[in-house]
Amino acid sequence: MKLHHIGIHVRSLEKSVAFYVSHFGFHEEIYFEWDGEKIAFLQSGHIRLELIQNDVQEHGITSGSHFALEVENLEEKKQELTEQGILSLEGPYLIRDRWKVIFYPGPDGEVIELVEPLITNE
């Protein structure tokens, strides 16, 4: 079994698509409307996000979810995001000498964790 996608409920599909495309290198794979929801799938390599906009989200309810993206160099990505005006929520932290991690806010309350593996045999 392998991960297919991570779903995130958003208030503004347009704003969220632009955020993930601009700051994290995703591209839009497919967009459609289904059963009153606007849905966009974004992809970056083997990672796929499903962004879902519906009436519930427009009233301010967010999922409180997080997902983790692996990066090759955490400090370089942190610098890039800082230059783009995206500031971290917390971190960076060193986790058991295995990973360096830092957390960023998404546009709808989701948390984006960036992970740099320090051990290459994972």
Give the separation between CA 10 and CA 55, rounded to whole angstroms.
Answer: 10
Cα 73 from chain centroid (whole Å) = 17
Report pTM.
0.74
User: What digits encode the pLDDT tens for the residues 33-73?
Assistant: 888 889 999 999 999 999 999 765 444 445 557 888 999 99
Tell me the percentage of the chain whose pLDDT exceeds 70: 88
Q: With the C-alpha atoms ordered 63, 84, 50, 39, is the resulting torsion angle positive or negative?
A: positive
Q: Secondary structure of the chain: what % helix, strand, coil (to 5)?
A: 20, 45, 35
Q: CB-side exposure of 85: number of CA atoms within 13 Å?
A: 3
What per-residue confidence (pLDDT) applies to 89? 95
CATH numbers and ranges of domains, the chain? 6-117 (3.10.180.10)
What pLDDT score does 1 carry?
Answer: 57
